[in-house]
Structure 1
Amino acid sequence: MLVAGLGFAGIYAAIVLRLIGLGMASDDHTAALDSARAQISTARPDIVDRNGEVLATDVKSSSLYAEPKRILDVDEAVEALASVIPEMRGDDSVRRKLASKTGFVWLRRELKPEQRAKIFRLGIPGIGFMDENRRFYPGGATAGHVLGTVNVDNQGISGIEKTIDQDMGLVELRNLGIVPDRGIEPRRLSIDLRVQHVVRDEMLEAMARFRAVAAVGIVLDVRTGEVVAMTSVPDFDPNHPEQALEKQNMNRATAGVYEMGSVFKTFNSGLALDSGKVKLTDTFDVTPLQFGSQRIGEFHSKGHPLSVTEIFLYSSNNGSARMALRVGSQAQRAFFERLGLLKRIDTELPEVAAPLVPKGLSDVSTATMAFGHGISVTPMHTAIAGAAMINGGRLMPPTFFPRTPEEADRLAVQVIRPETSDKMRYLFLQNATSGTGGSGSKAAVPGYRVGGKTGTAEKIEHGHYNAGKRFNSFLAAFPMDDPRYLVLTVLDEPKAEAGGEGPATAGLNAASAAGGIIRRIAPMLGVMPRYDQPRPAVASN
């Protein structure tokens, strides 16, 4: 009896010592929990579109944690947890965490509600739950590349989410232990969710119809520089941020650089006409130019000299090259610099690539850049410079946040004369009007006076142009008598439409996609059709 009594006394003494130890450690555990809460509980502002529609918001979710010093039996705890989350049974990291001497460890973030309920009913000592903010994107992939995404700690890691962290100093606040969890005003974007949906829908349809590997669509307010919509497909759902790491889901609109091809004839024509050395009625020889072993070909050869208007309509490479050579290499480089084509775009989106530009000046580089070869820029570069060509000659940086006309006026830089911009609007309208012979007639939408310029560029592979792989684009604007919006559509490696009417040129695919977008978004944006407008008249020199 004496031995048995001593045995029970020893057992009770061990239990008492363990309880005392746990009680003395409680302050440490509380501090660890408080530190974890400070790292994850900072709320983020809602992100809404220009009309107040929610694009991103915080929702509450539960995460599973452990206080290893409170775990009585590690093996028993692992088995109990594995009965709800089976993959924990073979996960050595879980066992190591529970066997450690730290005050706090995460076991599983963002539990499903039914998992939380089942684990709670198990009543495992040292296991708890913490409510934290989780980002939710109601539109899924609709505006994925614009919004970006957050990590498991609700910190912005890409897109506008990352910009918001930087602008509001959320990371600094979190590091200081300041956790604003309410009362944060929503951040309004310039994006119109309705237009964004249409652009993505049309580009996905065009991508499937013409069997392209990727597509880009941009809608820009030419008066303010606001990005009304921007899509790059394939894209990703920010509710599943791991999708953003897949190579094919990159943001081609601002983070990819490409030779844009003949849409650059827009800038070349603006350069030539604004220089005063070229008039609309001037004619140029369009026979092939030869620079050593390099020969400039002609896709739409007419076999006779062409006027500046005809060079634009028929997209003549040699005519464009001769226009650029008349103006000169130095003037061309200076003009491209004024248009922002030689540097990274200054905008709120973090994912912006720098252009690839020839280092030296030469006749051959001047000639090829006239039709968009030898210089690689992002589609957004093209859209911004294109807007300046038709909005009166004012260049302004693109913005993903609302901008008033007064703010736009303060930021705008005059890059071409207003009268030159008038001539560019004339060329745009001629090129997309049925019956003029222009390459952009597929983009025409009755009542909206659409104008634009096609671009069909061969892609470079292993240092050589591959005629079988093209990068097609269409730079459009409407209504051309008083431009409000610019639309840029891009198709990467499109194929001829099955049973279609011709080859895989931009006039047949990218222009068609632009027309589909304009037809659907114009009423949404308050641009009403007019059917009393005459055909474009011949512009003055």
Structure 2
Amino acid sequence: MTLAQESTSFLQVRKTRPRPAHGSVSASAVKSRVYLAMAAFAMVYIAIAGRLVVLAQMDEAPSSAWISAQDSVSASRPDLVDRNGEILATDIKTASIYAEPRRVLDVDEAMDGLLRVLPDLDEPTVRRRLESQAGFIWLKREASPQEAEAVHNLGLPGISYLSETQRFYPGGPTAGHIVGSVNIDNQGLTGIEKYIDKSWLSDLREAGFASDKTMEPVRLAVDLRVQHVVRDELAKAMERYRAIAAIGIVLDAKTGEVVAMSSLPDYDPNDRSQALEKDRLNRATGGVFEMGSVFKSFTTAMALDSEQVSINDSFDATRPIRAAGRTISDFHGKNRILSVPEIFIYSSNIGTAKMMLAAGIDRQQEFLSRIGLTSRLNTELPENATPLLPPKWNELAAMTISFGHGISVTPMQTAVAAAAMVNGGVLLPPTFLPRTREEANALGKQVISPDVSRAMRYLFRLNVLSGSGRRSDVPGYTVGGKTGTAEKIENGKYVRNKRRNSFLSAFPMDDPRYVVLTVIDEPKPVPPSKSATAGLNAGPVAGAIIRRAAPMLGVMPRFGEGSEPIEVSY
């Protein structure tokens, strides 16, 4: 067969093949559908595999919220200890119960179990949060070990607990205002706790070096034994004199260390909600008050330091002073000429005002600024109030300020300034942390001459021997001090039957080691007495503190000494 014949035959064969029937599918179309079905199944399997991978990762790597919560509850804080190593604050382990709603299989089942072991949960809120499909939620912070174990035994998917670091204060309220408190995430809110965070602990946390790590304790200058004595005596005083508040401070006159500080009513830092109650504020550093006649100590020192007044001078206190339509008189006036020591021990407003005028109003303002009574005092505690000064420092204001009215300062400022009056004239910034005498000397500022300081020690001691401070004396300790009875202001007027009494003291007066300040707010008379002046309450409380605390501080009594005023040459 020729090539032409073969071609003709092939075309004939092609023509004789039957065509596909209408509606039938070609082989290529069938193949396309098979491939499409295979692709669909592959995509389903890939989706399932992807979901399994995600679930596996959820089991192995918790959410970022969970990790953040774990870091928060495990963050450590250093122990706080007193000057003798006694623990004031430490970390303990508790539990925090949480849920991962995305992993909760049955919300109803979870709610039934949780309410059985944690009946105090808010059911509508918790149910709403469990249905939210969130990554992480807290159910209860600071749970008890029994509660954590009960939740664990429920065996509910997506619900468990973390080991948590919680702050614990073994002494409860004893030093509450000093150590301060922390929030539920162990971050400092008040007191030394906040100071530590602000100084270095927050930075350490941000760098990741504070999680579940043991840190060196932070030692404070506070002596827990003396702190207990101060608080105990203040509590007894509030009960005895039916007072509404009380303050006590023990300050090292040589170093500026705060050995004890208590403000009642106080609070237990283990129950941080108490710190929000307004009556429990730290009055020692966070409140400002007219301190009354204890301010005469500063006016006397100012007048002597000005060299315009000598300790041998006298001033006429026979008649009240009239100024700007106001009358300044004495509480128990002698109605005669008084020497400077008599003005001090009889607490003469008239004599004190005249001493101030002899020195000068400008000098008074400069002197009070020099000893730190016109500006905010800085301490490690964040609770430091700013003094309230008169809007116009005119003659009337200057005269009332001279005897402790018309200017409001914190009790801590008063104690710090008093230390300078008796320690040789050196103003030392206060501190709640340990400080050596060498460090104190480098920080000290000479504000009055040693001779004036010696004269002030003489006057303080004389007032306890012969003046309003007699009930504060402690045999063997040569206590010296000045009383202050300040009427309180209500609706812009002084109220005669409401007083804030104080006693500013130091011991031993031949070489003062410690300043003790006591304040009793609104004391009532103790029958049969009808009076409630500072010499009858704040003074005896200071004496009781000194009697109990002095041996703890290493100051031993010297009997047979101190019956006469210390010598002074001026």
Counterpart Cα distance in 2 of 1:72 and 1:161: 42
Alignment check: 8 A CA contact 2:111 2:123 kept: no
Report the 3-state secondary structure (helix = DSSP H, G, I; strand = E; otherwise coil) of the residue aligned with 1:465.
Answer: strand
Q: In the alignment, does 2:281 pair up with 1:243?
A: no
The Cα shift of 1:74 comes to 1.0
Counterpart Cα distance in 2 of 1:352 and 1:91: 43
The Cα shift of 1:27 comes to 5.7
Deviations 1:337-394 (A, max 9, x none): 0000001112111100000011332111111110000000000010000000000000
Query: Aligned to 1:185, which of 216, 220, 226?
Result: 216
Q: 1:350 to 1:366 in 2, by over 3 A?
A: same
2:534 — aligned with what? 506
Higher deviation after alignment, 334-343 or 90-99: 90-99
1:376 — aligned with what? 408
Counterpart Cα distance in 2 of 1:181 and 1:101: 30
Deviations 1:16-60 (A, max 9, x none): 998666335446634332222122211000000000000000000
Higher deviation after alignment, 14-23 or 176-185: 14-23
1:446 — aligned with what? 475
Unpaired segments ≥5 residues, structure 1: 1-13
Q: In the alignment, does 2:70 pair up with 1:70?
A: no
Count of residues in Structure 1 that have an aligned counterpart in Structure 2: 522
Query: Aligned to 1:142, which of 156, 174, 188?
Result: 174
1:195 — aligned with what? 226
Higher deviation after alignment, 279-288 or 65-74: 279-288
Report the 3-state secondary structure (helix = DSSP H, G, I; strand = E; otherwise coil) of the residue aligned with 2:535.
Answer: coil
Residue identity in the other structure for 2:557: P
Identical amino acids, percent of aligned pairs? 57
Report the 3-state secondary structure (helix = DSSP H, G, I; strand = E; otherwise coil) of the residue aligned with 1:432.
Answer: helix
Counterpart Cα distance in 1 of 2:304 and 2:481: 17
Report the 3-state secondary structure (helix = DSSP H, G, I; strand = E; otherwise coil) of the residue aligned with 1:29.
Answer: coil
Q: In the alignment, does 2:439 pair up with 1:407?
A: yes
Q: Which residues of 2 match residues 384-463 of structure 1 at below 5 A?
A: 384-433=416-465, 436=466, 438-463=467-492
The Cα shift of 1:175 comes to 3.5
Q: In the alignment, does 2:174 pair up with 1:171?
A: no
Counterpart Cα distance in 2 of 1:46 and 1:490: 31
Report the 3-state secondary structure (helix = DSSP H, G, I; strand = E; otherwise coil) of the residue aligned with 1:141.
Answer: coil
The Cα shift of 1:531 comes to 1.4
Residue identity in the other structure for 1:527: V
The Cα shift of 1:101 comes to 2.0
Query: Aligned to 2:293, which of 240, 243, 262?
Result: 262
2:497 — aligned with what? 468
Larger CA Rg, structure 1 vs 2: 2
Deviations 1:149-205 (A, max 9, x none): 00000000100000011112x223334444342231100000000000000000010
Residue identity in the other structure for 2:270: N
TM-score (norm 2): 0.89
1:521 — aligned with what? 549
Residue identity in the other structure for 1:501: S
Unpaired segments ≥5 residues, structure 2: 1-46
Deviations 1:281-328 (A, max 9, x none): 211111211113211121120111110000000000011000001111
Q: 1:322 to 1:189 in 2, by over 3 A?
A: same
The Cα shift of 1:224 comes to 0.2
Residue identity in the other structure for 1:235: D
Counterpart Cα distance in 2 of 1:132 and 1:325: 63
Cα RMSD of the aligned pairs, angstroms, is 1.7
Alignment check: 8 A CA contact 1:259 1:457 kept: yes
Residue identity in the other structure for 1:511: G
Q: In the alignment, does 2:373 pair up with 1:341?
A: yes
Report the 3-state secondary structure (helix = DSSP H, G, I; strand = E; otherwise coil) of the residue aligned with 2:517.
Answer: strand
1:330 — aligned with what? 362
Residue identity in the other structure for 2:556: M
Deviations 1:81-101 (A, max 9, x none): 00011122x432211221122
